Structure 1
């Protein structure tokens, strides 16, 4: 491993603007929608620490998880690559160690950073597609508080976090304490650090920390304007085949909305408190002025919008998520700035590496988010792909989104299904209330978005991994291939634990 002196010289020789490399903190919730925070326009919730983080830094209003499900999204975050290049998702398979070695935690540690991880790691590793699954890579971090699978809300059940169970029996605040202690222990170190925390909250089953029971007791929440089944009748029949459709009723969004949302928001309030713990410790240790903080979620959540629950699908509530970045070294900080630049979870690894003064590997699909931080009007993407190859085959889709438009292609046409296209003008219709696919006035937009779709699909065909059943989707998602020519490519997925 490179020593700190070599590291500092590396930053300076690379033209890094600051004498000392920054500490980096990456914080990620699980299943958090955009309308769960005051800084994203919800007056019904209490998220003072996250709102202050946005006030100090920048809030991103068009940030997407390119796969809206935890395993694939987390693999993308770590590697800066689309799912079809990580080869990693439920029902498909694990990440190979060769790809993991180019993830941001490994590259930072190799460059001299002290690294830590706590929370839900979210995916597993194999040496090769046919080899045995490996243990979680705890040895690849200097401090480890991670856990397998979905982890547990009861801190005592998370082996690596059990020491915090007495003071913080619910896991959310235990991760705040983990971050606090890691910061404290590294305050006098010569090396910079990177702390990554993946909260389990507010993932189902919804278990809120009882110490915050009074925060939303008896609260009535305003429903989003696209709430309810009547606002999803224009969605494709394919989208109604997954769990997302039935969970509108199963998870009581239809009949106990206030009760369900109170628990959901209470879980996020606890995350807010944990973020406050971490920021307080940075101040106490004199590290706040040289520590960059990134906060986001691994995917969004419908919460009853359009009469759906859960996530996965390419619609806004499931795929668009909060993103806040605060870099205290930047002149744009402290101005409560927002940006509508198009960004995605493929951008985190490149951004973190760039912050550390390290080169961005050519295999990464993302870009440096700090270019937008420095200029809120800048663009780092013209379009992003939104992927779903999990769950019932009818729901598998490839979609593309630009700053103003979204095109969704539903290619499953077996039985009484037919190929369906959806087009939304997000600039005018952010709630996706009107499908413009058959509107003649939008024919030029439709053709333009189809071309963007074809461009992303061509990239899939060229760069996809050759294992874990990703290669067939180059044909499955091809708009110009007939159903009869591709229907046999749909294969029964692997049975794997997890999924939602």
Structure 2
């Protein structure tokens, strides 16, 4: 048990990793033994999602338990407001005596910066992944993140619980390097070289049946960076998989150190991803849009204090990225803020099904970028609705996930689904209005717009 019954917590977060890119999720090629071991002893959520599939907005949601519609932070917006920083999980844990640490990709501009949220704050970013060391050698960023995480653990006091957030840049592509798009750590050299990577989940010609606004989107632009030839696809997928195996290896290093320090039995481990990833599926690169490949993420939680009989479970209830802060806060014995829009997963970890668990959730993408269409929608247990509200009527989608799990058919124009479409529209409106209202440029300002709207300084006559 941790200090005064409060556990330590380590939260690992990967970048651009879809839910099925884990050995324990049944992936036939990818090796993730550390995460698989956590799932074997803990719990894996097979229906975990992000509410916004892009790193900036998703990470802000993970810190605050709020939808993008509420915290209003993504690329190009003003920093996340102080009122939201104050309810972030590290600030709440810091107030009750936890030592809070962060290392890796922060990905959020916030009032006060990371130093206002964490006692120990070490932001580390890619571009490049290989960093020159004092002795002149190069070291991969994933390994450096592990080094610094271990440094944090060794400095912890036995009389103070800690919460350490380890945020990998991997497996995000190095966008500035088209030749070596996924630079992996040297320890993974040669891995997967003798494997032939199967084609993507959904046909790479699928994009052709989508509305025209998708055809010139960033999905297609970056497809030609990464996946447009068989040779490029094989090379880049293998490199991408090495990056995931590399972060899994570094997680193992950190957990081995935790054990050596005698802290393993009192430390809860959480692993998740900041958004999904198409990896060429549908003829798309990136994430951003409403299909399952974009929204689904891995989520594994291991609490060593739980009875062994509760380990190894795969849970079906929907879990969201905005549930993670509520879970961390409850694990630490702190009241979950009323402002949080997510729910604690602690009852599910303990084998208790809450009586009113969600059957759907709101999802959205509000980044103001000409190549990434904005959208909002509802993902239910069976049906999914999405509308690209600046591209209507052609940008409206309705999918039956039971009959069509790959979302190959859009039922929004099917007369037989008219009543269902109306119900899903109303539900989307209801959730949209609950969390912040319709998107308008005035309601969701960007830095660029604010600068343009600023009055010019008066000139002296």
Would the TM-score normalized by the shorter structure come out above 0.5? Answer: yes
Within 5 A, what are the aligned runs for 1:467-486? 469=441, 471=443
Larger CA deviation: 402-411 vs 303-312: 402-411
In 1, Cα distance between equivalents of 2:211 and 2:43? 35
Deviations 1:266-320 (A, max 9, x none): 0001001011112212222222222111111111111111110111112111121
Q: What does residue range 193-342 of structure 1 map to in structure 2 within 5 Å?
A: 193-205=162-174, 206-229=182-205, 231-255=206-230, 256-331=232-307, 335-342=311-318
After TM superposition, the score normalised by the length of structure 2 is 0.87
After superposition, where does 1:63-462 map in structure 2 within 5 Å?
Answer: 63-126=48-111, 136-138=113-115, 140-147=117-124, 152-156=128-132, 169-186=139-156, 188-205=157-174, 206-229=182-205, 231-255=206-230, 256-331=232-307, 335-375=311-351, 378=354, 380-390=357-367, 391-392=369-370, 395-413=373-391, 418-461=393-436
What SS is found at the alignment partner of 2:317? strand
Moved more, 426-435 or 47-56: 426-435
C-alpha distance 151-125 of structure 1, shift in aligned 2 (>3 A): farther
Distance 1:321 1:330 in 2: 24
How far 1:494 sits from its partner (Å)? 7.7
SS in 2 for 1:183: helix
Cα distance in 1, alignment partners of residues 7 and 136 from structure 2? 33
Cα root mean square deviation, aligned: 2.8
Give the superposition deviation at 1:469. Answer: 4.1
Deviations 1:22-61 (A, max 9, x none): 1111110111122321112211111111111111111112
Cα distance 1:224–1:493, how it changes in 2: closer, same or farther (>3 A)? Answer: farther
Q: 2: CA distance between counterparts of 1:438 and 1:280?
A: 55
Question: Per the alignment, do residues 395 and 22 of structure 1 end up closer, same or farther by CA in structure 2, a change over 3 Å counting?
Answer: same
The reply on whether 1:22 has 2:4 as its aligned counterpart is no
Shift of residue 393, structure 1, vs aligned partner: 7.2
1:430 Cα offset (Å): 2.7
Counterpart Cα distance in 2 of 1:221 and 1:320: 21
Q: Structure 1 residues 259-268 or 212-221, which shifts more?
A: 212-221
Alignment partners' CA distance in 2, 1:32 and 1:351: 21
> How far off is 1:91 after superposition?
2.2
Cα distance in structure 2, aligned partners of 1:64 and 1:342: 8
After superposition, the Cα gap between the structure-2 partners of 1:137 and 1:412, relative to the gap in structure 1 and judged at 3 Å, is closer
Call closer, same or farther: CA 1:268–1:472 in 2, change over 3 Å: closer
Check the 8 A contact 2:77/2:447 in 1, yes or no. Answer: no
Question: Per the alignment, in what secondary structure is the counterpart of residue 412 of structure 2?
Answer: coil
CA drift of 1:470 comes to 6.3
Instruction: Look up the match of 1:477.
Output: none
| SS, match of residue 125 in structure 1 | coil
Match of 1:51 among 15, 36, 39: 36
Question: Residues 374 and 424 of structure 1: is their aligned pair in 2 closer, same or farther, counting only changes over 3 Å?
Answer: farther
- Tell me: CA distance 1:419–1:142, structure 2 relative to 1, closer, same or farther (3 Å): same
Deviations 1:70-127 (A, max 9, x none): 111111110100112212111222112232122111111111001110001111234x
Q: Distance in 2 between matches of 1:219 and 1:376?
A: 42
Paired residues of 2:363 and 2:378 also in contact (CA < 8 A): yes
Partner SS state of residue 434, structure 2: helix
Q: 1:220 to 1:178 in 2, by over 3 A?
A: same
Partner Cα separation in structure 1 for residue 395 and residue 96 of structure 2? 48
Task: Give the gaps of 5 or more residues in structure 2.
Answer: 175-181, 452-461
Deviation at 1:421, TM superposition (A): 1.7
Contact 2:200 2:281 in 1 (8 A): yes
Q: Which moved more, 1:31-40 or 1:296-305?
A: 31-40
Unaligned runs of 5+ in 1: 1-6, 9-18, 127-133, 157-161, 474-489, 496-500
Give, in whole Å, the separation in 2 of the partners of 1:175 and 1:323.
20
